[in-house]
């Protein structure tokens, strides 16, 4: 079963553009990483950025988190963030429809 994660990024007021630019630069490399099934950014009403991620295995997610593309991405956006990102690993609900009830 795939691993689904949500990463919430906290841009400093007035610096969302810089965080999004770092994301745009890093996304092609991240999408090319082994096991990356989904890497989609969304802006929340409160100004945070949510990354919805899906990885084939926990090992693939761990390699992503320790890899060069995400390290460079962290360095590029760090000056423009209020605080460190929050990462949550999600567990699908029992009985969810694998076709339409799960990411």
Query: Which of the given ranges, 5-9, 72-76, 89-93, has the highest pLDDT on average?
Result: 5-9
Q: Which domains does the chain have, with CATH numbers?
A: 3-90 (3.30.70.100)
For residue range 29-79, what is the model confidence (pLDDT) as tens digits? 999 999 999 999 999 999 999 999 999 999 999 999 999 999 999 999 999
For residue range 14-41, what is the model confidence (pLDDT) as tens digits? 999 999 999 999 999 999 999 999 999 9
* Residue showing tokens 């409160």: 46
Both tokens of residue 78?
Answer: 């760090």
**29-68 b/e with 16+ CB inside 10 Å = b?**
ebeebebbeebebeeeeeebbebebbbeeeebbeebeeee
Both tokens of residue 71?
Answer: 């390290």
* pTM, two decimal places: 0.88
pLDDT band at 1 (very low <50, low <70, confident <90, very high): confident
Is the CB of residue 85 less than 8 Å from the CB of residue 8?
yes
pLDDT for res 96: 73
Q: How far apart are CA 6 and CA 67, in angstroms?
A: 18
Task: Specify the higher pLDDT residue, 80 or 96.
Answer: 80
C-alpha closest to that of 81 among 22, 39, 1, 3: 22
């Amino acid at each position: 079963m795939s691993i689904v994660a949500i990463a919430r990024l906290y841009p400093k007021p007035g610096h969302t553009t810089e965080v999004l630019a770092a994301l745009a630069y890093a996304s092609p490399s991240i999408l090319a990483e082994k096991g990356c099934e989904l890497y989609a950014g969304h802006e929340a009403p409160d100004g945070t950025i949510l990354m919805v991620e899906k990885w084939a295995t926990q090992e693939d997610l761990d390699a992503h988190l320790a890899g060069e593309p995400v390290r460079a991405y962290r360095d590029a956006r760090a000056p423009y963030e209020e605080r460190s990102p929050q990462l949550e690993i999600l567990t699908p609900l029992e009985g969810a429809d694998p076709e339409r009830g799960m990411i």
